[in-house]
Chains A and B, each alone.
Chain A
Amino acid sequence: MEIKEQNQLTAKHFATDQEVRWCPGCGDYSILKQVQTVLPELGRPKEEFVFISGIGCSSRFPYYMETYGMHSIHGRATAIATGLKLTRPELSVWIVTGDGDSMSIGGNHFIHLLRRNPDVNVLLFNNQIYGLTKGQYSPTSEQGKVTKSTPYGSVDYPFNPIALCLGADATFVARTMDRDPKHQQNIIRKSYHHKGTSIVEIYQNCNVFNDGAFEIFTEKGSKKQATLMMEHGQPLVFGENSDKGIKLDGFKPVIVDLNDASVNDLWIHDETDLVKATILSRFYDDPSVDGHFPRPFGVFYENKNKTPFDELFNDQIAYAQSKNPSPSLDSLIAGKETWMVS
């Protein structure tokens, strides 16, 4: 009976009556749509989902999801979600955050979330700009970026989010893009099934303040050339006619032309290999530079062997409770030494 009801859930059931207030054409719409598409397939009742966000355009997300939700404060969704997951491990907890929210103001909580590895899902909307505050550069904006706060161009070096996550020992690291619904759904689905913190970086176009930031990866004319779609167990192939591949020369990746080389010599993508994931994370060159590596999309890395924090945390409590199944408040309060006054 319950299963049947759940099966009846559709994307519509996950939409709220609140008017969606992103700018027309914003990449956030697509992400909302894909999440609303994937959730009904997961076989869980709505009330078990919780979306927690920080502050930013992206962080408005929970208002549009007919689940439990919290639109919290800038950068702190990760910490709030950790507290919720520790106390209610049976819930499916999702964190929605922006590039500024997660990596500037929330940077500390972000790396510690990844280090601890509670079983939550992070959707990182990376538009390489501060959208909500109307267009300042962000910690992922490329050097030289001209924005309202950097009229002479930004001199900051950007973060490489995927490398940052791997460096913080994240156990599921993936990248996708707003303009590829199928890929996005696929990655979101995979991230849900990962036990531990899963982080999905989503390239999201802010068509008002940073339009076209990811055009080269998302648009038909350049996508095949500029991106590398990683599939576990498959050779790393890209290019207009799938005519290029990546080969490993020791630890050094090289681009080969498949007209000259065989597919059999190519690097086979292995999601469980941290060293290789680290190399792939460094495919982060400026796409306009000649001879650059394609930008990888898909799952970089998954580690299934790191027990989630919420599990360890609650196991320890269960252990203490098993040692002392009915602790007495009276004896706790009395302590070890008492005396009588008569």
Chain B
Amino acid sequence: MQEQELESVVIRFAGDSGDGMQLTGTQFTNTAALFGNDLATFPDFPAEIRAPQGTLAGVSGFQIHFGATAIHTPGDQSDVLVAMNVAALKANIKNLKKGGVIIANSDGFDAKNLRLANVPEAENPLIDGSLEAYDVKTIDVTKITRSALADSGLGVKEIDRCKNMFVLGLIYWMYHRPMESSIKFIQSKFGKNEAVMNANLKVLQAGWNYGETTEMFANRYNVAPAKMEPGVYRSIMGNEAVAMGIIAASVKSKLPVFYGTYPITPASDVLHELSKHKAFGVKTFQAEDEIAGICASIGAAFGGNLAITGSSGPGIALKTEAIGLATMLELPLVIINVQRAGPSTGLPTKTEQADLLQSFYGRNGECPVLILAAQSPADCFDMAFEACKLALNHMIPVFFLSDGYIANGSEPWKFPSQDSLPDIDVTFAVHNPEQSKFLPYQRDEKLARPWAIPGTPGLEHRIGGLEKQHITGNISYDPANHEFMVKLRQEKVDQVANYIPEQNIDNGPETGDVLILGWGGTYGALKTATAKLIEEGHSVAHAHLRYLNPFPKNLGALLRNYKKVVVPELNNGQLVKIIRDKYFIDAIPFNKIQGQPFMAHEVIQQIKNILAS
């Protein structure tokens, strides 16, 4: 047995939707995080809850990249592929490194599974020699699990459901991971059903023992804790972070949260998470549709709550008319869009960044709103908090953009303390006896109007979607007033640039050949690619936008410091259009529209091509 020290490892757990690979991956993630590794994860699952068993369509994958160094992506290629059946192998083999380890559940390669995966029996990869370039460990996980649990008293179905614990135990053994955290998890999850709890624990241990006792594995590996900034960490997923950012903003603004929404992948977890925390006064409202979701939130904003609505592309499309209303009402409202691949239903469980132009322009009339985007799972906390803060401070609707990739992905997070977060000052208007009539559209230096909530004596007033007369808020059809108000609402958005940080360069020189300009969930891949390019001696820098409307004040000047600006996006070229339009810069698009995140090597190759051209 050889012990080997590794800097980082990528493992992909893949199996049938029912094989429990998401749980296995999450468990391994938590353990790696607790161990002190830096990491990034990528759950990749089918849209169907129970996709046809054994088929390629039904393959569910979970990729984790963990290391002793800084990790920013789930990894382009995996070192280890766990394949619970032939479909899982077929779907994932192309992203396994040559020479990588395959842990194959042989039972999942039987005649039936071959047929379901459309593989002729003669071409069973476990025996036809096609996997020669890899280190294949064939294990009959099903059989071992069944015999381990022969006298558990459980039925075959329940027994087979423990298979994933065998894999988890084995991988723990391979990477010297302590199992306590998973043992605790199993105890609390199945505590009510002792037989099932014991079965899971037993199979977990069986997996470990299998590594220890068989001579199948020549190597065991160590991946030391990463050198991270000192502090206390936890593991966080994007959607969870959004919910916490919102609750933090609620605590810091002393306003209760109201979340009006309708379930949709991949945004529903924000609802699930928020609805657990009613003790913070969080009000969650599952409406009859997305329109009702946002409208109820507008009602709550009128009433003086921190009002949020959330959805994904198709639901955002339904909300557009109401976003226009919120813009006219000038009430604070945060609209969360956890983007997924479109158009229409598109690829519901796959990621994309194709709703940026929708956020900018997808409404009738001139209807600018603020737009922020989170760049990583943990950043969802900061930007959700920031979105709430800007909405409240400026009395304006704010788009908060996330995407399926960071929503479900996780990373270690050096989380902030309550005290380190800024207070959000909110003052409701009160009657001023010196003013004979309340003026609901009088503005402060931020161009924000007063928040006069129903129930306040003396401030009775009417608001609505019809054009407002400046200051009085009365209905006005005056042509000049309309033009004035359109410009005013634009100016109100534009001057938020005075209240947001300037754009920084994430990595690389202040001037140079190429600036990689990204936004949103592509941060990790672009950061990894940039580091590599710089290491190889290229004059490349990376800036990542989190504030998209308005842009940071210095952005134009910053862009002009580079010979070329490349804008990689998971869409057909959206930010690049806006950059060209706004700054007259011949920005170069680089697009991927496959429902999958960028891989660092794709970005590296593309930048090299551009550098050479």
Residues of A within 8 A of B (CB): 16, 18, 45-48, 50, 52, 55, 62-63, 65-73, 76, 79-88, 90-91, 108-109, 112, 313, 316-317, 320-321, 323-324, 327-330, 332-335, 337-342
Q: Are A83 and B234 touching (Cβ within 8 A)?
A: no
A63 touches B456 (CB 8 A): no
Contact B285 A83 (CB under 8 A): yes
Closest CB-CB distance, B165 to chain A, in whole Å? Answer: 19
* Beyond A47-B460, A83-B297, A109-B292, 15 additional pairs, beta carbon < 8 A: A68-B460, A69-B462, A87-B303, A87-B304, A88-B455, A313-B285, A316-B278, A317-B282, A327-B280, A333-B417, A334-B232, A337-B30, A339-B35, A341-B225, A341-B228
Q: Say yes or no: A321 contacts B279, CB within 8 Å.
A: yes
B484, CB-defined interface residue at 8 Å: no
* CB contact between B454 and one of A48, A317, A328, A332 (< 8 Å): that residue: A48
Residues of B contacting A328 with CB < 8 Å? Answer: 418
Contact B292 A108 (CB under 8 A): yes
**Chain B contacts with A in 445-488, Cβ cutoff 8 A:** 453-466, 474-475
A212 to chain B, nearest CB (A): 31
Q: Would you call A341 and B36 a contact (CB within 8 A)?
A: yes
**Chain B at the A interface: mostly helix, strand, loop or mixed?**
mixed
- Contact between chains at B285 and A337 (CB < 8 Å): no
Beta-carbon contact of B295 and A341 below 8 Å: no
Of B225, B230, B234, B291, the residue contacting A76 (CB under 8 A) is: B291
Say which size band chain B's interface belongs to.
35 or more
Partner of A337, one of B181, B302, B307: B181
Can you list 6 A-B contacts (CB < 8 A)? Answer: A47-B457, A68-B461, A108-B292, A321-B278, A338-B234, A341-B225
Q: Are A109 and B288 in contact (CB under 8 A)?
A: yes
Binds A, one of B208-216, B243-251, B355-363: B243-251
Residues of B within 8 A of A84 (CB): 299-300, 302-303, 454
CB-contacts of B294-325 with A (<8 A): 295-300, 302-305, 307, 321-322, 324-325
B176 within 8 A of A: no
Instruction: Indicate which residue in B251, B279, B289, B296 contacts A80 across the interface (CB closer than 8 Å).
Output: B296
Q: Which of B33, B228, B229, B292 contacts A112 (CB 8 A)?
A: B292
Q: Which residues of B contact A334 (CB under 8 A)?
A: 232, 234, 415
Instruction: Flag whether B405 is at the interface (Cβ < 8 A).
Output: no
3 closest Cβ pairs, A-B complex: A83-B299, A71-B464, A83-B296
Pair B278/A87 contact, Cβ less than 8 Å: no
Q: Does A76 lie within 8 Å of B295, measured CB to CB?
A: yes
Residues of B in contact with A (beta carbons under 8 Å apart): 30, 33-36, 181, 225, 228-236, 244, 247-248, 251, 256, 258, 260, 277-283, 285, 287-289, 291-292, 295-300, 302-305, 307, 321-322, 324-325, 329, 381, 414-418, 453-466, 474-475
Residue from B285, B304, B459 having most chain A Cβ neighbours under 10 A: B285
Which of B33, B458, B464 is A70 in contact with, Cβ under 8 Å? B464
CB contacts (< 8 Å) of B417 on chain A: these are 330, 333
Residues of A within 8 A of B289 (CB): 108
Contact flag A329-B418 (CB < 8 Å), given A68-B454, A71-B465: yes
**Cβ contact within 8 Å between B464 and A339:** no
Task: Give the residues in chain B near A339, CB-CB below 8 Å.
Answer: 33-36, 232-234
Cross-chain contact of B298 among A67, A80, A112, A313 (Cβ < 8 A): A80
- Expressed in whole angstroms, the minimum distance between the Cβ of B410 and any Cβ of chain A is 12
How many angstroms between the C-alpha atoms of A329 and B419 in the bound complex?
A: 10
Q: Which residues of A contact B34 (CB under 8 A)?
A: 337, 339
